[in-house]
Structure 1
């Protein structure tokens, strides 16, 4: 069975069926998160400032992947749960989670 995760440069990608989730460093201590069910992710930067140098660390271990940029870390489960952790404040918060049911699809942001 192929992994739903892949690393492309400094970008962490989770792809399952038609859904794509991209997480990449943006600046010194931030992450850019994008998701789509389109064939291709839009490549626009919209209102973001130009991307700065970064030193992100990405790992894929079993059914979980993570990316860390400065003191912010995002973890993604194979099922699509995205959690962020900020080490300075020792906080943890779910950023994006999905509950799939044959009749209902719920997204929590």
Structure 2
């Protein structure tokens, strides 16, 4: 049986994470807020969302929790359709909406 962490340790971790999060945000907003960023940095920051969204979604497709971590055909089918829809439309919101609609259709009619 696991033991509950000490209250002081828990609050120390919470406060430490809050300060770290604030420092990271302040580094960009507070220190760089009034300055123009170099073109090379702006070019690299453009790809941040493009890299983060697949990194969040890929584990959910490859090892879905509802199936106990085994790949499932509905997850792979919807991911393939969303990839194609995003590629053809060049619009993230349309691709995400298509993924939600694809899951609804597959799980309502296929089960």
- TM-score of the superposed pair, with normalisation by structure 1: 0.25
Q: Which has the higher strand share?
A: 1
Greater fraction helix: 2
TM superposition score normalised by structure 2? 0.25
Pick 1 or 2: higher relative contact order, CA cutoff 8 A, min separation 6: 1
Larger Cα Rg: Structure 1 or Structure 2?
2
